Homo-oligomer: A and B are copies of this chain.
Amino acid sequence: MEQIGKRMTKQKKVILDILRHTRSHPTADWIYAQARKVLPDISLGTVYRNLGVLRDAGEIMELNYGSTYSRYDGNPENHYHFVCLHCGRIVDLDMPLHKDLEREAEACGGGRILYHRLEFYGICPECNDQKEH
């Protein structure tokens, strides 16, 4: 069995499973609600603790895009996001990484760069359509 952290508990397994099977970028609260459908007694504290463990293990990513709360991404590979300013939706972009930006930034006063994050903000097609009707 896949080993993440010191013990693979059913709680940790369920949380990871939820994150790996959604394309949305859910909040801790949403993950908690989903997890309770499988484990009705799971607590929000456990969800937060396991999200921290999974993040530290590099299995998931924590995103803070201008909100007071975090969102989590089950895809730990670096990739870019589109954030809709109208509905708040976060969408993965199928766009190649630009590692060359890191070399450029190092030359422009950054230190030793390990990774970068890139997000695009705008209006998603769905919200754009709504406005027109």
Mark A residues whose CB is within 8 Å of B.
62, 64-67, 80, 82, 84-85, 91, 93-95, 98, 101-102, 104-105, 108-125, 127-128
Establish whether residues A110 and B120, one from each chain, have CB atoms under 8 Å apart when the complex forms. Answer: yes
Q: Which residues of B contact A108 (CB under 8 A)?
A: 93-95
A119 lies within 8 A of B117 (CB): yes
Question: Once the chains are docked, how many angstroms separate the CA of A42 from the CA of B66?
Answer: 26
Q: Is the CB of A116 within 8 A of B114?
A: no
A123 to B109 Cα, complex, angstroms: 12
Distance to closest chain B CB from A72 (angstroms): 13
Interface residue from B82, B85, B98, B118 paired with A109 (Cβ < 8 Å): B82
